[in-house]
Amino acid sequence: MEVIDAPWAGVPARIRWHKRRWICREHTCQIATFIEQNHSVCAPRARLGVRAIRWAIRQLRFEGATISGLARQLGTTWNTVWSHIKPCLQAASDDPARFAGVRVLGVDERRVASPGPTPTRPT
């Protein structure tokens, strides 16, 4: 199995994982076979790894990236990126605790890009 990982030095990275299949020989067992899972690497049936999802969300939040740009950097499609990060963004949006302790919402002027070059003034 190959999982898309966060880029390394600007190059799309992949994790190759040889999952083991386990067979239960007990007749009372409801499921006869099990496939090795590791949720710290990726969710079941996921194409994007956990690190790639975290990286993509950080790029969206702090670097002003687009889904198309992230897909290009990860070497995958727009739909793959969006289908993996949308549930994480939705869960964060639905969390009522995200505004805990906030009294005033405002714009951080350091995060807002100016429309053009900032003029320099002689001192």
C-alpha to C-alpha distance for 50 and 57, rounded to whole angstroms: 11
Give 31 or 66, the one with higher predicted confidence: 66
Average pLDDT over residues 50-69: 93
Residue 69 has pLDDT above 90, yes or no: yes
User: Tokens at residue 2, please?
Assistant: 């190959």
pLDDT at 84: 95
Residue 112 lies in a domain: no
In the chain the first and final C-alpha atoms are separated, in Å, by 61
What is the average per-residue pLDDT within 40-60?
90
Domain contains 119? no
The pLDDT confidence band at residue 57, using thresholds 50, 70 and 90, is very high
**pLDDT band at 40, cuts 50/70/90?**
confident
Element (H, E) at 4: strand 2-8
Cα separation, 74 vs 110, whole angstroms: 28
State residue 54's pLDDT score.
Answer: 94
Domain contains 113: no
pLDDT of residue 114 exceeding 70, the answer is no
- Range of lowest pLDDT (37-46, 88-97, 103-112, 113-122): 113-122
Residue 34 backbone phi and psi in degrees, to 5: -130, 140
For residue 40, being part of any structural domain is answered with yes
**Cα–Cα distance measured from residue 72 to residue 5, given in angstroms and rounded to the nearest whole number:** 13
In a domain, 116, yes or no: no
Task: Find the domain containing 30 and state its range.
Answer: 2-99
**26 lies in a domain?**
yes
Say whether pTM exceeds 0.75: no
Q: Is the pLDDT of residue 7 over 70?
A: yes
> Is residue 13 one of the residues assigned to a domain?
yes
Instruction: Specify the long-range contacts of residues 87-96, CB closer than 8 Å, at least 24 apart.
Output: 88/53, 88/57, 89/57
Angle at 23 between CA 19 and CA 25, to 5 degrees: 170
